[in-house]
Structures are given as structure tokens and as C-alpha cells.
């Protein structure tokens, strides 16, 4: 729920210039990423399970919040700058909340299909891309339903 409030705040109340949004957003993302990486690398010698390693990127940790805030600012500023002239960017922007809501469910299914087929670096790229495309398609189909704005935003 906190991320929904954060996205609303950024969209409706944050009135920064394009350069300021990109600069601050990128800086916050990099700081959050570095903190996450440091925590992860420090846990490697002592972690006994994968879940212990994943503690550094839990949704409610400050480093992930910094990364999310930075990413939201950058993406929002890019979409707002290029939305008027690009139909595809505009359509993805409209569907983005629905994509966000369903991506974790689709991600699990897609990952289970790709995890043993490709090397890790290709799996990460393919799972991310396929998940995004599937979520876009499903959200677009849902958008044709009556009252879909209450389901996908």
C-alpha cells in the first residue's frame, strides 16, 4: 500500500523539472542499489538459506524504498516528457498500474518455465521481458471490461 501512496505523491504533488527528476531519481536508485549490494555481499558468508540472502531486497527495507522512489521519479518524468508524441509510451503509461499489480504473479510462472533452460544472465533478461509483455497483454484485455478502472487503475 505504501508504494501506491508513493506513486500518487510523485504523480500529483512532485513538480520537479525533467533534469532535476532524472538527477535525483538516478542518485536515489544508485544509493539504494549500492546499499542492497553491500548487504547482500556481507550476508553471503553467513547465510545458510536463500531466504536469508534475500532479506536485503525485501519490499519494506529503506534501500528498496530508495530504489523504488528513484525509479518512479525517473520513469514518471520520462513518460510525462514523451507521452504526448508516442502512442506506445502513452498506452503503457495508462496500463502501468495494472502491470505493476499483476507482475509478481506472472513472474513466478514465467520464471518456473525458464529457470532450467537458459544460463542465469539470459534467464533474468528473458523472464523480465516476457513477464512485462504478458502483463501488458493481460492488462490491455482487462481494460476492455466494464468498470476495469477499478481493477487496473
pLDDT in tens, 81-102: 776 667 887 788 788 888 888 8
Q: How far apart are the first and last CA of the chain?
A: 14
Min mean pLDDT across 40-54, 66-80, 108-122, 130-144 is at 40-54
Rounded CA-CA distance 83/93 in Å is 8
pLDDT at residue 85, rounded to an integer:
65
Q: Are 72 and 10 in contact (CB under 8 A)?
A: yes
Confidence grade of residue 1 (pLDDT, cut at 50, 70, 90): low
pLDDT at residue 65, rounded to an integer:
87
Q: Which residue has the higher pLDDT, 93 or 19?
A: 19
pLDDT at residue 41, rounded to an integer:
84
Q: What's the 3-state SS for 51-81?
A: HHHHHHHCCCCHHHHHHHHHHHHHHHHHHHH
Amino acid at each position: 500500500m505504501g508504494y501506491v501512496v508513493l506513486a500518487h505523491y510523485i504523480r500529483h504533488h512532485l513538480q520537479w523539472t525533467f533534469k532535476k527528476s532524472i538527477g535525483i531519481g538516478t542518485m536515489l536508485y544508485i544509493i539504494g542499489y549500492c546499499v542492497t549490494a553491500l548487504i547482500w555481499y556481507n550476508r553471503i558468508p553467513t547465510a545458510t538459506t536463500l531466504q536469508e540472502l534475500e532479506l536485503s531486497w525485501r519490499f519494506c527495507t529503506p534501500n528498496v524504498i530508495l530504489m523504488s522512489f528513484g525509479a518512479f521519479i525517473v520513469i514518471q518524468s520520462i513518460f510525462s516528457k514523451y507521452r504526448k508524441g508516442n502512442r506506445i509510451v502513452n498506452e503503457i503509461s495508462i496500463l502501468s498500474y495494472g502491470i505493476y499489480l499483476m507482475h509478481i504473479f506472472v513472474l513466478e510462472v514465467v520464471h518456473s518455465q525458464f529457470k532450467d533452460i537458459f544460463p542465469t544472465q539470459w534467464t533474468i533478461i528473458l523472464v523480465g521481458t516476457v513477464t512485462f509483455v504478458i502483463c501488458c497483454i493481460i492488462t490491455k484485455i482487462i481494460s476492455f471490461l466494464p468498470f476495469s478502472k477499478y481493477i487496473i487503475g
